[in-house]
Structure formats: structure tokens, C-alpha cells
Structure 1
Amino acid sequence: MYLYLWIVFIGFILFTALPLFSAKHRTVWKVVQVVVVTFSIILAVFVIEVLQIPPLPVIIFVVIVSFLTDRSTYTKTGAIIVSVIVILIGGAAYYIFHDDPDYVQKYIDNNPDLASMHVSVDGESIVSEGADMKRPLASVVKTIIAIEYANQATKGTVDPGELIALEELEKFYLANTDGGAHPAWLDEMSASNKIVNNEVPLHEVAKGMIMFSSNANTDFLIEKLGADSINHVIEALDLENHDPVYPVVSALLVSEFVNEQHDGSLSSDELKELLQSMSLEEYREIAWEVHDELKEGEADFFHESVSIPMDLQKIWSDRLPNATVKDYGKVMRAISDNTATVPGGEEVLRDVMEWPMELHASNREMYAHFGAKGGSTAFVLNQALYVEDHKGKKVELIIFTEGFSFIEQIKISRNMNAFLIQVLDENLG
């Protein structure tokens, strides 16, 4: 995923080890330095790739280790240089990581082509910035699937208590591609003793799709509920600018599938050009073909996990279903008003969507209802939520952002929750 960073790390190891080729400079200190720096870089690769830690703090860690193991650091000149570097790093870290809820609003205001926001109070639109601009939804789209699940659970088409074999979900799981969402959900199911004979209730699968944002659960539910039924929700809620729902995991594998059809001979640039030349309809058709192969256990064009280059991930992210914040203002309002589902489905849907009420006691003290679904990729950070206070006042808040730099992404992500709370306080107060 971070190919160029790994190349830099390898070069850094080689540069550090270069003096060892000279007997004159092959000291015990230098050998220890090479060993420690190499170990720190191996650790850095592990935490970035496996633990999904953002690379910036890890890079800072490697730099600090390299300075601490360099003997020249402990001279007067070295101490001055290190002090200056520490001050610069400290200043940069403060800028990036200090609490700044207003940063999100500034980003929305300063980037109308990249960010949209919708706020409504008791059905009246209070804020509408870029409300009609279609943007990638990422996992926010799972709300539509949750609505159809509630519909079918209410009508008896599916049984919320049906036991689903974990191996059926694992057919749609790709290791290290969901930020640890699916493993985290499985850990929670295990801790709460909801896994029996390697099976979990269907209702927990739906809740895991929303609360933990498991992509594996999502694609399983798309298959279970049926794409046509799910996409009927878009029509029923009169969402004028909403793209059709299609599998998330399978879409991520489109590049792998297409390259395999060319015997793996395409370069990254050639594959990128080919994918970009496809219409959305062609792209979705291939995603459905991949989905069918995953379902049948016949997807032999990849082996357990994948590493998709960032430029190809960008194509995947952009081609996920798009919609507007205005559309999701309607969605959240309908859930809050108990009109999103067939009669009787509202309690099922609320139990799936209102995970924040379960997670924090403070939410139960402040709100009668609080439902939310976030969505993110390396290029998108979205939030869609509804709340109702104990006096019956209702607020819907939708934020879609994209196109940010790495630093902007960190700052938006770090400050998003504080900004959401700030907006809710302002409109419920």
C-alpha cells in the first residue's frame, strides 16, 4: 500500500549500514545502531500494514530512533541539531494533533468543491452547503442496506434470529482492507458469547455492518437481501441523486480480477488506464462477477489478502455509490420519523442504527435517540447521523468530505467527533 515509503525505509537501512563495509568504521556502536534502526523499521512496517496505524507518527518514531542511536547526537553540535529537530517535530505534532473542532467547518467553507454539509432541525434545513453535489458515500451507503434488512425482518422474508455460519461471512472478508473492522466485530461477538458453534444471529450481522462497518457482513447482506430489493429503498425514499448499491469488497477486487484476465501482465499504469476507461456500468458488472465467484468460493485470482496501490484504491473509492448530503438528510429524517421502513420495522432499524446509545451512557442521558453511520476510505471521510433529545427536538447532520491531503485527513478525522458534538449542542440547546 505504501510502496514508496517501503523503498525509502530500505534505502535508510542501507545508508545506515554503509559504514559497516569499512573495517575502520565497523565499531560495536555502529553495529548496534544498524540493528536497532533495522528493527525499528521492521516494527514500523508491521504497525502500518497490520495495525493500520497512520504512517506519520511511525515515521517520526523511526527518525527519533535513528538520532538516538547516532553517536554524533551526543556531541555539542549534535545536541543542538537534535534540539532544533525536536522543536520542529513538536510544533508540527501540535498543529496536527491538538483539538481544533472548527477546523472541520473551515475545511468545508474553504473547499466547496470537496466538502458538503447538511443540517436540519425539526424538518427545517438550517445549513445547506454543497447539498446537491454527489460525492462517494463509502460506508454511509450501508444505511440503505440496514433499512432493507429491517423491512425484510418485519415482513418475515428473513429471520433476524437465523444463525449464520462465520465461514459464509469469511467468503467476503479480505484481510487488512477494512481497518480491522471485521476482526473487531468478531472479537466483540466472542466476548459477548454470541458465537455458538461458529454461528451468529443474522441480526448481529446487520448490527456489525453498521456499528463496526464490516465490509464482509455488508456483501453477505447484499447477497442475502437481494440487490433489487435494496435499491428499491432508494426509490421508496425518493433519493434523487443516489447511485445503485453494489458489493463493496468485490469492487475492491476489480483491479485484481481484470489484471488476472490479462495474465497478470498489466503494469499499474496500464491497469489504471483500463479501469478509468470503463463505464460505471461495466465496472459494476465486473464487481458483481467477482461477488459471485467469492460467494461460490471460486475466486482463485488472489490469495487470501491483497495490496492495492493507492492510485487504484482511488478509482475504487470514487466508484463506490455516490449521493448527496441532501439525500442522506432525507434518509436520516425518515429513520428519525419512523417512515424509513414498512410499518413495524422502525424498532428493528433503530436497534441496528442506534449503536451510539449502547456505546456511551452519556448519550442516553442527553438523547432519546441517536443513530449514526460513518464512512471512510483513504480519500473520503463522511458522517451521517440523527438525534432526538428528551424534549422531542430532532436534528439531522450530514458531512461528506473528500480530496484532502494526508495532513488534512488527520486533522479532519481527529476533530470530526468534537465538531459533530459542537453542531448538535448549538442546534439542540
Structure 2
Amino acid sequence: MASHKDRFENRVTAESIEDALRPLVQGGRVERFPAFVLRLQHVQHICHKITGRLRGRSGAASESDTQEDWRESPETCSSSSAFDFLAALHPTPAVAGEPRLTALQAIRQLEPFDRGFYAGPIGFLSRESAEFAVAIRSVLIVRERAHVFAGAGIVPGSTAEGEWAEIGAKMANFVRMFPRPSPPLRSLPNLATLWATLVVEELARNGVTHFVIAPGSRSTPLVTAAARHPDTTLMVHHDERGAGFYCLGYARARGRPAAVIVTSGTAVANLLPAAVEAATDRVPLLLLTADRPPEQRDCGANQTVAQPDMFLHFARWTKDVPCPTPEVLASSLLSDVDYAVSMARGADPGPVHLNFMLRENLAPEGGAVRDTAVPGLHSE
């Protein structure tokens, strides 16, 4: 409502509808109610309710004009009256422009394609009523191909970037129905990425689709896998303690666990308060922590602390997942994930800790690892 451009666009459309309705309603009296905002998942709309009493087919007021009820009577709700309204209202400025005839002529000259069903009226006619909507956001399915349609109105104050972003927001619901196919596992750059992809995919298959990320280096494969999955939602929280409690609140409100991902070392210790509360209150919680490989543990640095038993007295189950290796079957990893979710949501729900040992985060198996100018930093 704060955007002058959006209010102007809405006013042009509303005034055009009022002008089109006046010849069709009793006394030319049209009432436009105050604007309100309709909030949807991806977009918001400025809306008006516009009403008027229907005239009879002869041009005189029908019997329904004197009734309290403003709906059409069976005598006046006919195909002809409904199509009169369609002819007067379609196309609205939202899909054509203003003034209408000039805009339609420009569209025919400038658009190199047929709009087909896009922006056409869709609805129903019955003996007592009629209802139509404009197919602004629509999908046309022809055999095995889906065509998604959306658009935006250009008015003074419009920018190409803003209108393009608006179209993307309008199409988001449809596009989410057609996720991109997952890449073949062989195309992933290394085993760490492969294992993280399998973990997130199995969690999503078990209904764990919300992830809270506390940024860090060692956990990068898990974060990347969660961000790329088409069915997951992510929230970034820069404080691990707060991230843990956010997941706790999410589980209380939604009745299902969320997963928190943190890097190694003291970041893991910050999850302890949330784990204690989850254990005491029997709230499902998944703690996904990244860790160094065995040879880099207990080296004296604060980021090399022993992580596997950090939640030992509170976790319903703890698993120290070994470093990704071809010697460990992927089915074993998936089984661990399945068991973790079942323990978190079981008869005695609570926190579950999966501690993932990782070596190289995202470096490919072949080629330069860090700096080609340094001798020895190549893997064949």
C-alpha cells in the first residue's frame, strides 16, 4: 500500500471496471469498497469489492432490483446478461492496458505470439448465477509439457527489474510443482558432497524439511545439500545457541522436528541448552554437527574437542558417522538417518545427535586442491 506505482496501477484497473459496469447496472450506480490487502504465500494483492444492482434485459430495473438480496434472479441471470458483462469487462487493464482499444491494437502489433488461454476469462454459468475470473496465473498442460503463464502490468514508475521480480514471485507456486531433477550421484564433486546429499534427501523423505543453519566451514557439504534440495526450507542463524532453540520452538509449534546444522568445535557445545530442554520436555530435535576426521581430534585446539559424547546424557540416540568412504555402504548411512528420525519422534521423543566426520569439504577428488603454485598440492 506504500507504493505509489502499485496504488496507481490498482486505481486504473478499478476505475475501468466501474466505467464498464455503469451501463449494465440500475441507475448506473456502482459502489467501490475501501481497498484491502490480500496476502498470499508469495505475493500480496491490493483488492477492492465493486458492486451494483443488475438491470433487466430490457434496460429497466428487474424485480431483483427492489430486493434486499443483490444477486441476480433466475429471469435476469441469462447467458446474454452474463456475456454482456464479460464483453464489457474483458480484457481488464491489468491484462491489456488503458485505453483498451489502443492497448489491444498495440498488443496485436507488438506481441509475436498468440496468448491462447492466458488472461482469458474462466468460470461458469448456471440458471441462477455466474462467476468468472481472469486466468492471469495459469498452467496449460499439453501431453507431457506444461506451459506456465504469468505477467505484470507496466505503468509509470515501473522498472524492468521490479516487474521481472514480480513475475517470478507470481510464478513461484507453479514452479515449485516442477522441481528440477536431481543431478546424477556420479556428477557430484566428491564423497563428502555425495554423503551430505544422501543425508538431506533421506531426512526430507522422512518429513524433516526445515533446516536451521549456523554458518561454518566444516559443515559446508550439509548446508549446500540442504540449500539445493527442492523440498527444504532454510533459515540462517548466526548464533548456534539461538539456532538450537529456534528448532525447539519449531518442533513445539509444528509437531515435527527441524534439523539444526552447525560446524565443529565449540559451535557444537552451544547446542547443549536446547538439547537439555528438548530431552526434559520430550520435544523432537535433530542435531547435525560436522566434525574433523579421527586423526585431527584432541589436538589441543579448542575446535578439536571430542564431540560424539557431548550430549550423551540427554540425546535419545547418538551416532558418530565415519568419514565418507567407498568402503561404507550408502545403505548404512541411510539406515542411520532413518533410525535417528524414528528415535527423535518415537514413544519417548527428544534430541538425536548425528556427528558427521568430514575431511575435504567441497574440493573435487582430482585436480588442484588449494594452490597450484605450491608443490605437492595436487591429487591424481
Q: Sort the TM-score into its range (normalised by shorter chain).
A: under 0.3
Select the structure that is richer in strand: 2
Select the structure that is richer in helix: 1
Structure 1-normalised TM-score?
0.21
Higher relative contact order structure (alpha carbons within 8 Å, sequence separation ≥ 6): 1
CA radius of gyration, larger in = 2
